[in-house]
Amino acid sequence: MTPPGPAALRLTLALCLLTVARSHADHGPGLPEEEEERGDDTATVTTGEDEGDPEDLEVFYPTRQWQPLLPGRAVPAGSHVRLNLQTGEREAKLQDEEPGPHRPKERRQGPRLGKMDLGPGAYTSQDLKHALARFKEGLELGTPKDDQARRAEVRRRFRPIEELKREFEALNLHLETDLQIMVRLIDKFNSSGATLGDKVAALKDLEYYVHQVDNARDLLTFGGLQLVMGELNSTEPVLKEHAAFVLGAALSSNPKVQVEAIEGGALQKLLLLLATEQPLAVKKKALFALSSLLRHFPHAQLRFLKLGGLQALRNLARDEATRVLAVRVVTLLHDLLAEKLSAEEEASASEVGAEAREKAAQYARVPLVAGLVEQGWCAVVAGLLGRQPDHDPREKVLRALGLLLDFCRDAYRHDSGLGATLARLRDEYSRLAARERRRDRRDGDREVEEEEEEEEAGYFQEMLSTIRLLLRRLD
């Protein structure tokens, strides 16, 4: 048998390529389309997509003429690619446009894109990579002149932040936290060049901030509370006064600060101010700080009794120079006694937790009632009632008498002055209550006056009921 010639071999190879290309086209859209074999011993293929990664390949720019396609070059979509069987090289060119209805249709995947600019001024893959990197860094594509113009426009419309900060600082508009303000006030107070007026102003401002629980704890954290307590021993009365005021504000309903103050010796310093010769303003603020330290703090109350606090307060209540503080002293003792009795009553309930029992146990260790009786507070409170011309102080003393009556019953029964004072007050409040009930009302203001009189009548009637109850309990 005669072996096939070169022409037959080329024809056989072309048929094989055509069969393979058609088998790939049958797998679905998006795969390369194969055209019919041409008469010049070549096989042509219309590419549906680039071969390889376009970012890693050099772009091939096809024309209307066949050009050799070197390995490693990216072919744009829609190009014709053929294998030249005579030379054995791959060639590519732009797809021929066939007029009429028989023009081949391009198969594309995804949304239709615009016409690709393949001219000499088009961007290469390296250009696109560089532009993307600059875009990620927040840079705009443009000439240096454009950048300079844009920056000049920004500088014209907006001022630098440093300039704004300087202006705000000049106007004292820079914002500070409460902690920063308190630190600045303490530094101002502790400055070697601070005058007496500067220190007083710093303490006044500090008192405003430490009313808040968190601020008072911050004052303790950076050592400001210790500095304030140290000023209770100052030689300047005005510094003692304002230091005690700051301390009382920081101690109010703040257990953590109360504990630190009692351990720092604040109780002894306050009692010393109350027991020694001091201006009335100093003693007022010291009594305020003492009240804030003792309230709801059984441990401090126990220390107070051991240090002779009841004796110091009794002398304060009897002294004519400090008589205006007597009602405040009685109010403090009334509140301390009410705390103790309330804790004991709460612990006696059928269902009570461990916390309530521990609280009652702490108050049980405070011998407040025995101390009041031994120090003669029964007579002190009874004597205050007759010296109060106003209704509010009378109410506070009457409340204290009501709590002490169970412990001072024998002393009160033999106190003729107390009985006479209660009888006089009973007659006075009976007249006040009756007068308000009989008061003629004006026609135009009838409704308003009725509301006001009912409120006042209720108050005086309550006072009258309290006095009558005390008289019955003394009988």
Instruction: Show the DSSP H helices in 191-236 as ranges.
Output: 196-209, 213-221, 224-230
Identify whether 250 is part of a domain.
yes
Identify whether 285 is part of a domain.
yes
Identify whether 453 is part of a domain.
no
- Of the candidates 286, 174, 274, which has an alpha carbon nearest to the alpha carbon of residue 231? 286
Identify whether 376 is part of a domain.
no
210-235 as b/e: b if 16+ CB within 10 A? beeeebbbbbbeeebbebbbebbeee
Q: How confident is the model at residue 148 (pLDDT cuts 50, 70, 90)?
A: confident
Instruction: Show the DSSP H helices in 348-390 as ranges.
Output: 354-364, 368-374, 377-385
pLDDT at 454 over 80: no
Cα torsion angle, 226, 241, 321, 317, sign = negative
- Of the candidates 399, 254, 385, which has an alpha carbon nearest to the alpha carbon of residue 331? 399
150: its two tokens = 């844009």
- Of the candidates 284, 202, 295, which has an alpha carbon nearest to the alpha carbon of residue 257? 295
Across 105-114, 121-130, 306-315, which has the greatest mean pLDDT? 306-315
Identify whether 270 is part of a domain.
yes
Please tell me which residue, 331 or 171, carries the higher pLDDT value.
331
Q: What percent of the chain has pLDDT over 90?
A: 48
How far apart (Å, rounded) are the C-alpha atoms in residues 37 and 17? 9
Identify whether 457 is part of a domain.
no
pLDDT at 455 over 60: no
Bridge partners for 44 per DSSP: 82
- Of the candidates 325, 336, 313, which has an alpha carbon nearest to the alpha carbon of residue 400? 336
Number of structural domains found in the chain:
1
Q: How confident is the model at residue 159 (pLDDT cuts 50, 70, 90)?
A: confident
pLDDT at 235 over 80: yes
Q: Tokens 């010769």 correspond to what residue?
A: 277
How far apart (Å, rounded) are the C-alpha atoms in residues 295 and 341? 14
The boundaries of the domain holding residue 250 are: 160-294
Q: How confident is the model at residue 259 (pLDDT cuts 50, 70, 90)?
A: very high
SS3 332: helix
Identify whether 215 is part of a domain.
yes
DSSP string, 374-409: HTTHHHHHHHHHTT--SHHHHHHHHHHHHHHTTTSH
- Of the candidates 6, 170, 165, which has an alpha carbon nearest to the alpha carbon of residue 86? 6
Please tell me which residue, 345 or 286, carries the higher pLDDT value.
286
- pLDDT tens profile 37-61: 444 454 454 444 444 454 455 777 8
How far apart (Å, rounded) are the C-alpha atoms in residues 149 and 108? 43
How far apart (Å, rounded) are the C-alpha atoms in residues 445 and 395? 30
CATH number of the domain to which 278 belongs: 1.25.10.10
pLDDT at 291 over 80: yes
- pLDDT tens profile 406-436: 999 999 988 889 999 999 999 999 998 888 6
pLDDT at residue number 97: 65
pLDDT at 265 over 50: yes
* Helix pair angle (309-318, 377-385), 10° resolution: 30
Residue 34: its H or E element: strand 33-34
pLDDT at residue number 137: 60
Identify whether 331 is part of a domain.
no
